């Protein structure tokens, strides 16, 4: 088996959500790969230092470097590690996560050429990023969807949908958590019994702002903080509608998990979302930051004016095609 160095933000022990360096990295280990994963340093600069040190130390022992590649601050460790891998003549594979990466391609073309043109391959979890990269002339882009282990998710068939909303994400401005509170406020005008549960850790101070908005609006929102996957899966069985309010996105695993669990997804139609979801077939899509449109969509679900049960079944069928047992064959072919 090959030896992999997986570079990413391994920060769950500091109260943040697990990212793919921890989830996909574990899946590779279970398949028999030797996996070295870094970094769990909380400080950004210490984290980069740990990544650089580990790559240098293991440079003669690893076959591939996998790099979780985002569009914000973490873009810089992707740049540094990729160029260091080139120096040591190690094959590296950026895994494209950032929903706003196309903006990076536009604003930092030279740096992006250095990273992505010299990669062994660039892995895009969605056709959205694959197509955006190909528009910029990158030809070494492979589509390998995000994967979940479908057998872990119990599908709950819902005949009646109540106004019980669930939001699962880190509290960060790019995910627009305040919109969820605004949607609940509008919804409670018609459905006073409507509830909202928001799951996730604070990332940039947005949690405090969202709590303040809830207090000012006079709506009762349950903030759980970070939960384990198992805990929020159990919580999902008590809710009916999953809302995704983000400004930018790629292929969120939380949406895939919600679909696997039988929640009906209502999401902003941004980034890679329309490449994953089909409006009125397996989810409902609304314009970015459009509170009224999202509220109206949820009202249609609650009033049973839509084939909501069929949509959730379609959603489950879609994510079953993204099961790890299927996706791992694509990774195995790439990491020969």
pLDDT tens, position by position, 41-55? 999 999 999 999 999
Q: With beta carbons less than 8 A apart as the criterion, state whether 79 and 106 touch.
A: no
Do 3-144 and 150-320 come out as alike in CATH topology?
A: yes
3-144 topology per CATH: Rossmann fold (3.40.50)
Q: Which residues of the chain have pLDDT under 50?
A: none
SS (H, E, C) 80-118: HHHHHHHHCCCEEEEEECCCCHHHHHHHCHHHHHHHHCC
Q: Is 36 helix (H, G, I), strand (E, B) or coil?
A: strand
Q: Are strands 195-199 and 221-225 parallel, antiparallel or unpaired?
A: parallel
The whole-number pLDDT of residue 72 equals: 86
CA dihedral 85, 89, 95, 100 (to 10 degrees): 60
The whole-number pLDDT of residue 22 equals: 93
The whole-number pLDDT of residue 98 equals: 79
Locate tokens 């009202």: which residue? 299
The whole-number pLDDT of residue 99 equals: 81
CATH class, domain 150-320, is alpha beta
Residues of the chain with pLDDT > 70: what percent? Answer: 100
Q: Sign of the C-alpha dihedral, residues 196, 247, 200, 261? A: positive
Q: Is 296 helix (H, G, I), strand (E, B) or coil?
A: helix
Q: Is 73 helix (H, G, I), strand (E, B) or coil?
A: coil
The whole-number pLDDT of residue 148 equals: 93
Both tokens of 194, joined, read 């409507």
The whole-number pLDDT of residue 90 equals: 98
Q: What is the pLDDT of residues 186-210, one digit of tens each?
A: 999 999 999 999 999 999 999 999 9
Q: With beta carbons less than 8 A apart as the criterion, state whether 283 and 129 touch.
A: no
What are the structural domain ranges in the chain?
3-144, 150-320
The whole-number pLDDT of residue 250 equals: 87
């Amino acid at each position: 088996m090959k030896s992999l160095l997986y570079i990413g933000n391994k920060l769950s022990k500091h109260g943040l959500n697990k990212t793919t360096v921890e989830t996909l990295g574990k899946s590779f280990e279970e398949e028999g790969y030797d996996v070295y994963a870094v970094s769990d340093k909380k400080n950004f600069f210490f984290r980069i230092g740990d990544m650089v040190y580990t790559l240098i130390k293991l440079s003669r022992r690893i076959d591939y470097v996998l790099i979780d590649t985002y569009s914000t601050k973490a873009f810089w460790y992707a740049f540094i590690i990729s160029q260091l891998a080139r120096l040591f003549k190690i094959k590296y594979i950026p895994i494209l996560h950032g929903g706003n990466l196309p903006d990076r391609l536009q604003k930092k073309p030279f740096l992006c050429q250095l990273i992505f043109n010299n990669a062994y391959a660039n892995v895009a979890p969605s056709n959205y990023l694959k197509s955006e990269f190909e528009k910029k002339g990158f030809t070494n882009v492979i589509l390998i969807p995000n994967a979940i282990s479908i057998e872990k998710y119990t599908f709950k068939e819902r005949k009646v949908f109540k106004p019980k909303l669930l939001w699962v994400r880190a509290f960060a401005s790019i995910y627009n958590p305040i919109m969820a509170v605004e949607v609940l406020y509008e919804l409670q005008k018609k459905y006073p019994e409507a509830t909202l549960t928001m799951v996730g850790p604070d990332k940039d101070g947005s949690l405090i702002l969202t709590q303040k908005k809830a207090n000012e609006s006079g709506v009762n929102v349950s903030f759980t903080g970070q939960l384990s996957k198992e805990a929020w899966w159990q919580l999902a069985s008590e809710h009916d509608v999953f809302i995704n309010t983000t400004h930018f996105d790629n292929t969120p695993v939380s949406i895939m998990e919600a679909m696997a669990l039988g929640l009906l997804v209502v999401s902003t139609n941004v980034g890679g979302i329309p490449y994953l979801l089909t409006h009125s077939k397996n989810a409902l899509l609304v314009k970015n930051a459009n509170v009224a449109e999202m509220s109206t969509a949820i009202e249609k679900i609650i009033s049973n004016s839509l084939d909501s049960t069929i949509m959730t079944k379609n959603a489950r069928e879609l994510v079953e095609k993204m099961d790890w047992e299927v996706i791992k064959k694509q990774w195995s072919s790439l990491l020969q």
